[in-house]
Chain A
Amino acid sequence: MLYTRKHSVFSSLKASLKSALNLRFNSWLARRIPKHSQQVINHRNIFIIPTRFGAGLMVFMLLLFLLGTNYQNNVIILISYLLVSFFVVVLLHSFFNLSGLKFQANSALQGFVGDKVYFPLNVSSKKERFNISFSFDQVLNDVNSSEVDNILSANESYNNQPNEVTLTEVAKGDNNIRVPYRICKRGEYSLGRLLIISEFGFGLFKTWTRLDFAQHVTAFPKPVANVWLDKEQSVAGEDVENNTQSYQDSFQPGQDEFHQLQHYKLGEPLSRVAWKHVARGQGWFTKQYQQALSGKLQLDFSQLPAGTVEQRLSWLSYAIKDCSEKQIPFSLKLAEHTVEYDHSAQHTLKCLTALARY
């Protein structure tokens, strides 16, 4: 018992020390390599450390030197010097393999929590380079990871997929790559640093840099179907209008009814078109439904059944996603923020972003 407590104290101490070091390192890194959407890597921001193999080879060189000295064999000593010198040359070579690479990143990332999204990046180079791998260093600290694990328990398969992309050859000119990124946490936050590593040359050195492209991740809440929603839906069936009704029922009591006809606007769902009018040659109209009271479908955060904030946001996220797929117009009301009644791809995005920012 004592042992475990000691151990835990020790480990927590170690963890805190590590996090403090990490913090310092990150702040130093932020000063050293400031964020920018376009970056060129050079001697200012490339780090090189020998790999374990490199360190092993150094020991091996020492061994050869000892062998040569003990046998007073100058040729063996010469070879050990040659290897030392080769080691240094390879150090420079691995530096030049990365140095001068130009990166351009322009798009922010969006996605639901738990999704794996791809960060598009343009890499341009004036010469051929080899074996460069890109990854986001998503250090899931222990507190977070348990949460994430809960969320991600369903899609365990992500863990097995590599979280990096490796280019065996970077051709001369522009290359477009997509770096996988796993969204773990709801909110809107900066993307973090992209880790660019190469061991090309001979595996003797790890040449790496961490770049911040000043991009944001907008992580929408993970869509979770609510039980009551499901029930309603199963009763209501597949019909679009009934579907609307089901949402209506879930958010507020009241009936929805035909309200008016409006002129068709491009992009409106065809299911809403008043085909009778079209057939009569009266032009294109869309049927507008309205609820009895407010007249429109409103997804209201405060009207949701009891649950934690995250849970409720997840339900809303599901509802928005569902509505968007089924092309039901709606408005969204959050505690301090309201998104107007509308229905389009932009609208959906706006709503989801609002959820993310909540």
Chain B
Amino acid sequence: MTKTTEQNLKQKYKNSTAKKVAGKSDLKLNSKMYFGLLIFQLLNLLTLVLQFNFIYLIFAIFALALQFMVHFKAFRQAASNTNSAVTLYASPKILPSWIILVLALSGSVGIALAGQTLGLLLSMIHLLCFAYSLKLFEITSRKDLYQLVVLGIFVATSSLIFIQSIYFSIAVIVLVLANFWILIHYFAPTMALPVQTKLLAKLSLYSVPVAIVLFIVFPKLSPFWQVPNVESAKVGLSDSVKIGDIAQLALSDELAFRVSFQNNNPEHAQLYWRAMVLDDFDGVTWRQDQQEEGQHNKQRYGSASLSHTKDSVDVAIKGTGLAYQVIAEPSFQSWLFALDFATSEQGNIGQRDDYALFYRGIISQTLSYQVTSYPKAILAPNLSAESRALNLALSTDNNPKLLAKAQQLRKQYSEDKSLINHVLAEFNQQDYFYTLQPPKLNNNSLDQFYFDTKAGFCEHYASTFTYVMRAAGIPARMVVGYLGGELNPNGNYLSVYQRNAHAWSEVWLPESGWQRVDPTAAVAPERVERGFSNNLRQEYNHLSSGLFSMQSLRAMQWYQQLKMQIDAIDYQWTRWVIGYTGQKQSRVMAQLIASLKQGKAIGYFMLFLIAVALLFYFVKSVQVKDKPKDRIKALYLKALALLAQHNVVKIKSMTAQQFAHFVDTTHPDLAANFSPISKSFTELAYQNFEELSQQERNKRLAEIQASYRKLRWQLWLNKLSVK
């Protein structure tokens, strides 16, 4: 019994739902709407086009083209049958639902299979976009339309995971809001397109202030859970350097990071941005020491608190600090860039015992961090035996000539400093020269470079120098990072590009600790002092000019200026919007509150201004509602009050005409101005004033207002003359 009732109930329910669906499923739209949907789908998908797999791209284009063709056909038919394009029609069933089902299933399976290569995030995005593409085939009810809009917004927004530059972001924000046009058009199809656009723009603009306030004030939260990260090829320096590697980077115009100093910018030659220290050399490749790698991992996951306290690294801080903010572009590595000796208070930044900073994670999007550096600090006043051994280790078999030379030098100079100076002087005085196109070395031989080719760039010199030092028994290691940076005067910040990549050496001397020695400076001092020399720049341009040369364009002054300006805007965006972290937020809020406390008067003044503006607006809106005839009446009453102040009082029993006559006889000087007011008032009260057109009425009103002002002026004059 119960079963049957249950079944009945179920049936009933089914029936009712079926009815509902049947009732709802007759969504009919006009062709403008369908084209709008197609265009927005195209735009939303375009934001992600760089991330798409080729196969999906083809599918999406095919789906859009199919839809477009069908609707275009329908549009032409409608246009030929009736004279208007406003005819509504239900979305034609282009594909039967079982095909869509099969497509959906096979597509999902395909994406799941491709997930291995795509990575989790990209496969999710593909799944989302795939659903978005398919949804277009099934717009049977209003609900589907809503879903399509929301999906579109989601697709457009998710593109921001990959790119966050200001122009792209603004384009995406505009696109997200523009997606609502579909809904406006659905609810008001009769509205003209410009009106719809205007309405949407108006509503969007109104919503900007609140959004900005929310953005500034609403607390920034830390991530709730781990999310799949953007996976991409590593950019920039790599943690194992073979001789010749940096040459590739030197051709790259890509931005590495940007820095703004709190006070003055240091000199170009001081800007050695340490990224990482390579101390393990096998004769061919410089690497980070494996042991330290382990330590690094431990630091990263274990004793995080140790790693960023100053006690853990062996350093004696001297001199004043130099505070600056670095905004690093995504490199998909962990290395951070800072001047020596750098400290950072940020929890997500760690420090290795070779003084390099690193980020606890992968820098997959723009990262901003605050650093304080002490350029005069002594690094490692005491070198541990372990570290000493590591930094003296040599693989002797590869460069025997260099080893012999170093040992000979050691005999010649007992003092470390004079030995170093001798090597540098040799670089400077002999015919070594700096070039980005060094001749190829066999088996990356340093011997060949030092004794034969004598042409190379920073890496060659640093590598050779470090090798010689080690061979001579001075602890030395190679440091890679960036040198210099280009000042953007518009934003007062430094841009460091990949082409600024540099390598130098560090030697450990008793008393003074680790000392930076840049052999490149000995070879090409202008490289260090000013960045690229003219010769090098030409060489650089020659190398980088591809199919069509940008050389002429680059040379143009206005182009440079424009580029600087655009870059400055992008920098501010990166700094204040993308880099608006919780830390920064609390600082900004503290400042805001402090300034509010300090300038209470200003706050009150602002409040007062707002109140006045509101009052003005209110009064104006009330006034606009007034009909002019009421205004004439008001003006008449005002004139009466004014006259009463000057002892010309209208007795209540008097009619307006009588009073006008009275004024005329007693104060003939006032009559000229008062009579038009009175006349208009009597006309309003006793004659049909409605017949006048709006324009004439306004004209009349202006006249009366003018005479009122004159009357007031005259009364003033009278008063003064009486006195």
Contact = CB atoms under 8 A, between A and B. Distances in A.
Interface in A20-66: 53, 56-57, 60, 64, 66
A84 B187 contact: no
Contact of B2 (A4, A57, A64, A66): A4
Given A73-B164, A76-B157, A85-B214, 13 more contacts: A4-B5, A7-B5, A53-B146, A67-B157, A69-B220, A69-B222, A75-B160, A75-B577, A79-B157, A81-B211, A82-B208, A89-B210, A169-B188
Interface string B208-223: 1111001100101111
Interface string A109-152: 00000000000000000000011000000000000000000000
A313 to B, nearest CB: 35
Given A69-B221, A70-B225, A3 B207 contact: no
16 contacts: A57-B150, A60-B154, A66-B224, A72-B222, A72-B581, A73-B160, A73-B365, A79-B160, A82-B173, A82-B208, A83-B153, A84-B210, A85-B209, A168-B188, A169-B190, A201-B187
Contacts of B101: none
A78 B577 contact: yes
Contacts of A326: none
A333 interface: no
A293 interface: no
Interface residues of B, number: 53
Interface residues of A, number: 42
B161 A76 contact: yes
Contact of B211 (A72, A85, A199): A85
Contact of A56 (B150, B209, B210, B580): B150
Interface of B: 1-2, 5-6, 142-143, 146, 150, 153-154, 157-158, 160-161, 164, 169, 172-173, 176-177, 180, 183-184, 186-191, 203-204, 206-211, 214-215, 218, 220-225, 227, 365, 577-581
B214 A86 contact: no
B208 to A, nearest CB: 7
A200 to B, nearest CB: 5
Given A77-B215, A81-B211, A202-B184, A89 B203 contact: yes
B227 A71 contact: yes
B207 A203 contact: no
A93 B180 CA distance: 14
Nearest to B348: A72
B203 A130 contact: no
A224 interface: no
A16 interface: no
B211 A78 contact: yes
A56 B154 CA distance: 13
A79 B6 CA distance: 47
B43 to A, nearest CB: 15
What secondary structure prevails in chain B residues at the interface with A? helix
A53 B147 CA distance: 9
A86 to B, nearest CB: 4
A79 B577 CA distance: 12
A72 B362 CA distance: 13
Contacts of A4: 1-2, 5
Interface of A: 1-4, 7, 53, 56-57, 60, 64, 66-67, 69-79, 81-86, 88-90, 93, 130-131, 168-169, 199-203
B530 to A, nearest CB: 36
Contacts of A88: 207, 210
Contacts of B186: 203
Given A66-B224, A77-B215, A85-B210, A71 B187 contact: no
Contact of B189 (A7, A84, A168): A168
Given A69-B221, A79-B173, A60 B146 contact: no
A69 B582 CA distance: 11
Contact of A130 (B6, B188, B211): B188
Contacts of B189: 168
B187 A131 contact: yes
A64 B161 CA distance: 12
A56 B146 contact: yes
B438 to A, nearest CB: 42
Nearest to A203: B183
A202 B187 contact: yes
A75 B578 CA distance: 7
B207 A74 contact: no
Nearest to A60: B150
Contacts of A67: 157-158
A85 B208 contact: yes
B173 A1 contact: no
A75 B169 CA distance: 7
What are the 6 closest A-B residue pairs judged by CB atoms, nearest first?
A: A85-B210, A85-B207, A130-B188, A202-B183, A86-B207, A81-B214
A70 B203 contact: no
A3 B365 contact: no
Q: Which residue, of A60, A75, A85, has the highest number of chain B Cβ atoms within 10 A?
A: A75
Contact of A86 (B177, B188, B579, B580): B177
A74 B218 CA distance: 12
B215 A168 contact: no
Contacts of A72: 222-223, 365, 581
B150 A2 contact: no
Contacts of B577: 74-75, 78
A221 to B, nearest CB: 32
Nearest to B577: A74
Contacts of B581: 72
Given A67-B158, A85-B210, A75 B6 contact: no
A84 B2 CA distance: 48
B187 A199 contact: yes
A180 to B, nearest CB: 17
Contact of B157 (A64, A81, A130): A64
A74 B580 contact: yes
